Structure formats: structure tokens, C-alpha cells
Structure 1
């Protein structure tokens, strides 16, 4: 015999795509197209659906989206390291752009020869997300035909490739700007050549391009860089310290040093101070990268728009994921000279 009461209501869990469609007054297919960034949705409809998703706290399930649309909504980012200021800033720029399109990042640091060799195999997990962003090292050079073993869209950042879209800094221009600035100061000129080889597998051209532009400008000014005025070292503050020790054995202050990277410039400055020399008077040092801490330290540097490069690379990848099929595009960025106490005339 019935009691006349209604059956207990079903407990509500997380909002579903059906809830979003019902509240927005559209079909489930329309919500799916909004989630998948389909261009076949009118802007006003897209805005309404996105507003409802936010109101309900609806978070698309990437696994469900993979089944429904063949996508994981994840992008692989291959990069040499993860703990440096440069790569943290680069990731920030990439994530800002991808996050706006509801894509997640999967980071794959190369780190060592053993790890690097994993990515020479097409079965590597990095090749099975929706697309790849490869930072600093052009892995495609390791494969026949100069193409990575994937049919997913690929974009290079902080590197340049003929086969893929690229967002890169004109490092050679930065080297020429460095030489022109130091030539204005007078006195002998020295430079630090930074080793680029990653565990003897392949090398980036970033630092060699910087030094190449530097040499080119000095030669054009009739002041070619003497062989003994070049010191080869690792990318570290300790490398900068050892470089200045060598340079001071060859010439008395004042002298000028192009350190080619901010962390190396910091080491040069620290060694000068340890010896009781005045940075900016006895030792003029110019870095490269534009790390945020260089302003407080008074180090002159060539700034590179790291976050902007990351955003540009992510934007090009998104355009590919949305169906764009242009020829490989090249987005060139220029450095900006920041003159501070360490080289101020």
C-alpha cells in the first residue's frame, strides 16, 4: 500500500554535458562543438554555452572528449630542462594560451641522453597527445626526412625549423647589438662561448648564433675577436667566474665581457667583486636573456620576450589543431638592449 509520498530524489553529482545543454537551451552536439573549439558555432551561442559551463562549474572530461572527438585536449611540451627561469617563463606563456582553449600541458624534459633517446622512438607517449611543442632543440633533425615520427601538429619554440611552424628569437641580431654596445665603451673585448651540447646527442644553435652575430659585428668594425679572448664553458655562474679569471690574466682593467647568458654574466660580476673590482668601471659585463633578477642586480642584458614566444608557439599549434593548413610559418622575435650599471658609459 502506498504512503502517498514521492520517491526520494536521485542524488545530484557533478554537472553533465546534458545539464549544460538543457540550461543553455541548445543541443548536446552544440555543447560538444563548443568544448572542441569547432568554428561551426556562432559567437553568441559559444558565449552563452561557456557562460553556463562556468555557472554550473562544468569541467569537460578529457577522456570523454577523446572518445567523442578523437582528442585528448593535451599538448606535449618537450624541453631540455624544467628548473631554469627561462623554461619556467616559456611554459607560463604556452600555458596561458593553451589554457584559454582548455588544453592541458604534458611536460617531457629531455634531461639526459637516456631520456632523450626515448623520444627517438615513435611509440613515446609524447607523440600521442593532440600536438607537440618542442623547445630549443630541433629533434626532427634526428629523423629521416627531417620530420618527427608523428602525424600530429608540431611547433618549434626557441628554435627554427623548415619543416614546422617556429617561434624564435633572432639571436644573431642580439649578438651584433652586444658587440655594438661594448665597442662604445673602449678597452679590450672578451666573450664567453657557452657549450650547448646536450649529453653529446645534438646541439642547440642558440648560443652559437649569439656568438656568431657578436663576431660578425666586431669584424665589421675592424676589431675581430682574438682567439685568446674567447673562453669556452658551461652555462653556469661558475663558468662566468672562471672566464673572468682567464681574461684578467690576459689584460688589465678596464675590460669588457659579453657573457652570452645572464647566469654567466652574474658569475663574471661576482668574480669581479670578489677581487675588489668595480663592476661597470673595471669590468663591464653584458648578459643575454633578460631574466627578471638582472634589474635588481644592475646587470645589462639583451631581453628576449620569452612569454610572448611561448604564447605565439601555442597560438600556432591551436590554429593547426583547428584545421589550419598553411605552409610552415616563421615568427621572428627581436631582443631589446637594457643598459644598466654593469655597462653604463
Structure 2
């Protein structure tokens, strides 16, 4: 069975082979009408590029390295979905590097690892740009997602705003106020501003209402530890109580423990989460929705534009969270 070639695509589109190659590589120096003609020819001929030949011809690996804290939580699975969708559309492969401990990070910082052989680098949640640049000259473009910095492209959630919204709503619900935060340090090497910013916004909103927080707790991003902390919190609570869980994973553990104790969530105990994971609606969890997949997709587009020749100062794409009220807070709005 005959397989169409890049020359066939060029003839069908009425352009040169080099133009087809630039379209396949998402190069910015292609007119819209020309790009559409080439893409139409590719579709009509059912042309499938040879990835090996593409790598040789372009002098690229057509691989993107993604560094992220863990790969087992719903948040990072969804974030990867958004990243991979954009990279797959541009015919880039993704190599995932989970940052689990000091030895693994040190290996990634080495000069011959795959992280450096990729065409671009995505850093999620943790801003490691200075750490990488201190260890070795990094030539490939970088982008941050779920984090932000002044000197690098980034797509991030306004977590101060999210924490503030949660604090205002928690204050309006009344009762004793509690919060549980995610541990932000990974092997004492670096920190994330995500939960620090959520806490800052939350406490500012409480302070503005001239209220106080009765108790603050900390949990790792681990379901077993989250359940242990949930048990401790429910042992300590003075009812009526409202809890802000700074991630839905922690809120889910609180819902499980409350159910095990026969507590009715939404009455004397109210719980607010953050993320709006797919299961949150089913369980009636009031939470802050953040468009996780869209954030990942936008970060990938920023990186792809650099690979296509985009120059200029660092760009930031800011996303805003949205409060979704459900039964875990009694479906009560701000006006109640």
C-alpha cells in the first residue's frame, strides 16, 4: 500500500517541501492561508510524518520534559492532560520527571539527563529555574505552570484571590473557623508559593472581618496522612465549625472521616475545598474551581510559541478561581 510522502503533500498544496516542514514544526513564519492549504493536503492524503526523519531534519528531539512533584494525584493527572493535549497537537512527545526526593532531583540536575536533551522544559508548581541555571547553562526554553516568576513564561492560578474568596465565604458561614494546609517543602530543597498564597488570602479575609482562626493543621499530599490529619481535626473541633481544606484531596479525607463518625456535613460541620476535582460535585463538596486542564494547555502553548521562534519578555497567563457552592456548606450563598 502506497504511503504518501512529504513531496506529495507539497505538490497537493502547491508549496515547497520546506514550507511543509515548517508547518509540521509549527514555525511562525508561515502565512495563515499557506498553513491551511498544507494542513488540508495532509488531511486529504492521510499523510503521517516520519518522526525519526523529522528529528534528523529539524535537529530537534521533539520531546518536552515535564518536571512535577508527583504523578499520583488528581491535580497533576489533569494538569498533564492539558499539557499533553497541546504538545500532541504539535506532534511533540512528553517525558515526565517526578520530583520525589533529593537524589532524584540531583540526577535531573546532571548534565547528561534526558531533561536537558528535550527541546523545552515545563516546571510544575515549583520554580526551579535558578537552581537549574546555577548548575548548568540551560539553552532550551522553559515555562512554569501552577507557579509564577518574573523572568520566565508562566501560567498560574491566582491563589491569593482563591484563598481570599474561601475566607470571605467561611466567615459568612459562621461558627468556629479551621483550616488545613498542604506541606509545601519537598525534601527541604525548594518550596511552592501555591499554598502559602492560599493561606495568605484566607487569613487576610478572616482578619478583615475581625475574626480569628481557631485552629490550623498541615498535611502532606498523601491520602493516608490526609485521613490521619482529618481524624485529629475532628477530634479537636468545637462545633459549629467551618473548615477550609486548601486542596480537595484534604477535603475528601474530611468528608470520609465525618461520614465514618456519623456527622452530617453542611449543618454543624461545613467544609470548603479547593480544586473542584471531578468527584466534588457527586459528593456535594463546596470548592474553588480552577481550570486545571486549561492552565496546562496554555502553559504548553507559551512554550510552543518559543520553540516556533517567539522572542520578547516573559509572559504570564493568570487564571482566576470560582467558588462553587454545594451541600457541604448547606448550599448557603454569601447573601444568606
TM-score (norm 2): 0.91
Match of 2:278 in 1: 292
Matches within 5 A, 1:111-126: 111-126=100-115
Q: Does 1:199 align with 2:208?
A: no
Maintained 8 Å contact 1:63/1:72:
no
1:211 alignment partner in structure 2: 199
Alignment of 1:318 with 2:317, yes or no, is: no
- Work out the CA distance in 1 between the residues paired with 2:33 and 2:258: 62
- Tell me if 1:166 matches 2:150: no
CA RMSD of aligned residues (A): 2.1
Alignment of 1:116-265 (within 5 A): 116-143=105-132, 149-226=137-214, 229-265=215-251
Task: Give the C-alpha shift of residue 260 in structure 1.
Answer: 0.7
Counterpart-to-counterpart distance in 2, 1:87 and 1:47: 34
Aligned partner (choices 243, 264, 281) of residue 278 of structure 1: 264
**Aligned residue in 2 for 1:32:** 21
Find the aligned partners of 1:339 and 1:319 in 2 and give their Cα distance.
37
Instruction: Go from structure 1 to structure 2 and tell me whether the alpha carbon gap of 1:31 and 1:283 turns closer, same or farther (over 3 Å shift).
Output: same
Q: Is the 8 A contact 1:140 1:148 kept in 2?
A: no
**For the residues of structure 1 that align with 2:269 and 2:223, how far apart are their CA atoms?**
16
What CA deviation, in whole Å up to 9, does each residue of 1:145-185 have, x standing for no partner? 6x974111111000112221010111111111111111111
Distance 1:40 1:243, change over 3 A: closer
Q: Which residue number in structure 1 is paired with residue 58 of structure 2?
A: 69
Q: Give the TM-score, by structure 1 length.
A: 0.89
Q: Which has the larger Rg?
A: 1
**Unaligned stretches of 5+ in structure 1?**
1-11
Q: Which runs of 5+ in 2 are unaligned?
A: none
The alpha carbon displacement at 1:318 in A equals 1.5
- What's 1:308 paired with? 294
**Inter-CA distance 122–162: structure 2 relative to 1 (3 Å threshold):** farther
Asked if 2 retains the 8 angstrom alpha-carbon contact of 1:238 and 1:264, the reply is no
Aligned-partner SS, 1:288: strand
Corresponding residue for 1:94?
83
Give the 3 Å change call, closer, same or farther, for CA 148–47 of structure 1 in structure 2. farther
Partner of 1:342, secondary structure, is helix
Q: CA deviation at 1:311?
A: 1.4
Query: How many residues end up aligned between the 2 structures?
Result: 331
In the alignment, the residues of structure 2 paired with residue 277 and residue 242 of structure 1 have an alpha-carbon distance, to the nearest angstrom, of 17
Paired residue for 2:41, among 52, 62, 66? 52
Displacement of 1:200 = 3.0
CA distance, structure 1, for counterparts of residue 239 and residue 226 of structure 2: 17
Greater shift in the superposed pair: 82-91 or 45-54: 45-54
Query: Does structure 2 conserve the Cα–Cα contact (< 8 Å) formed by 1:187 and 1:254?
Result: yes
Residue 275 of structure 2 aligns to a residue in which SS? coil
Q: Is the 8 A contact 2:132 2:138 kept in 1?
A: no
Choose which of 338, 341, 345 in structure 1 pairs with 2:324.
338
- Residue 143 (structure 1) shift: 4.3
Distance apart, 1:279 and its partner CA: 0.6
Superposed CA offset, 1:75-125 (max 9, x none) = 222212222211121122122222222222222222332222112223221
Answer whether contact 1:237 1:263 (CA < 8 A) is retained: yes
Cα–Cα, structure 1 residues 45 and 142, in superposed 2: closer, same or farther, change >3 Å?
Answer: closer
